[in-house]
Structure 1
């Protein structure tokens, strides 16, 4: 029993050190901003860290055919993408930066071709909360293992 507790404590300590020391692998969200453009609809896709979502896959759907993409492509190295709408209405845009970092938004294009959209406000979870949830998960799994082992030991004692 003591050996299991020592192993569980060592595992939790290692996990905590990993979570605190490894800031580059922290999860982050994806957001967008509409750019000013007189010749098309431009937007910028970025992560919650402010870094651009370089070469993210982009799909643009027109208001008339919402099931077939009007245009597809990738953002540039700075996370920017521009498309030229051919009709007014609500255009749907999806940008996928990989590994689950995806953003979907609508762009309203008026008769004159001017676009408007609401800018995203990204909700991020504090790193301390993520670390606490991770440690809690491992502790709960360890405690479940201890409970199952103790229960099976009690059953063996009662049958013998």
Structure 2
């Protein structure tokens, strides 16, 4: 009887120890969400004279009345680049393809084009709730194993 109790204890501890490295990092991790913001952005599309897109061109955007760069990046394969101005005024946009072509333009952003920030919806369980759920799941599995082993031991002792 002592051997079987020891074996059950070893199995439960093994399962718990195996799950600890996997459950602890996730309990402290943060989640990510995608937020779709339909309105408020300014999109620019650059094309060559023949109509071909200025793909993956370097883009530099400067805010009105500012000498510092507001945003940098690259256009997509269709020559498009989007940005969300945070103040009204004339924004300076420069696109360069790296082989000598340069496009410099002024974009007028009014108050209606300001970026609208949308708050993400709650995912239901907060971080602590997820941690407690994981711990309770581990205890449930361990209890199930103990119960099954106890049932097996009772059958073996009843047959003797």
TM-score (norm 2): 0.46
Greater share of strand: 1
Structure of greater Rg: 2
> TM-score, structure 1 length as denominator?
0.46
Q: Relative to total residues, which structure has the larger helix share, 1 or 2?
A: 2
